[in-house]
Amino acid sequence: MDIPRFHLAFPVRDLSEARAFYGGLLGCPEGRSSPEWVDFDFYGHQIVAHLSPDEVGHRSTNAVDGHDVPVRHFGAILTLPQWDTLAEKLKAAGTKFVIEPNIRFKGQPGEQATMFFLDPSGNALEFKAFADNSMVFAK
């Protein structure tokens, strides 16, 4: 069964930076665009970087398993091999992590590999992976 795709629009300070980050570093193919926005294929989902420099960045965090997690963030759930490959690619590119790649909730329901980093506009992204996908919504 196919699951519905999500659509997310978010602010960026510069579309060229967004293209280099999402298209170049993360490898998300570019879709439609205008002088004010750019569509990206984000692992099969549609994200849209809108030029809005006054709205960028994250401001608040919440404590989760010993880390300060940016409240406003988005990302994708990858397979463990995809997650490992992305983590190595980001490290090689010199990405500064908000939360370094690690295992969260170790030995508990919902155990997951996770990492947080910022795009050039300060938008927080989380990429995670589960050894057992039945744990995605585990309590």
Q: What pLDDT sits at residue 62? A: 82
Q: Where in the chain is the domain with CATH 3.10.180.10?
A: 7-54, 61-135
Q: Rg of the chain over CA atoms, in angstroms?
A: 15
Q: If you average pLDDT over residues 4-29, what whole number do you get?
A: 97
CA 3 – CA 130 distance, rounded (Å): 18
- Residues 26-78 have pLDDT tens digits of 999 999 999 999 999 999 999 999 999 999 987 788 888 788 887 789 999 99
Q: What pLDDT sits at residue 16? A: 97
With a pLDDT cut of 90, the percent of the chain lying above it is 79
Which is the CATH superfamily of the domain at 61-135?
2,3-Dihydroxybiphenyl 1,2-Dioxygenase, domain 1 (3.10.180.10)
Tell the CATH topology of 7-54.
2,3-Dihydroxybiphenyl 1,2-Dioxygenase; domain 1 (3.10.180)
Spell out the residues 6+ positions from residue 126 whose beta carbon is closer than 8 angstroms to its own: 69, 73, 74, 75, 114, 115, 116
Give the predicted TM-score (pTM) of the model.
0.91
Strands 61-64 and 67-70: antiparallel
Above 90 in pLDDT, residue 139?
no
- Residues 70-128 have pLDDT tens digits of 778 999 999 999 999 999 999 999 999 999 999 999 999 999 999 999 999 999 999 99
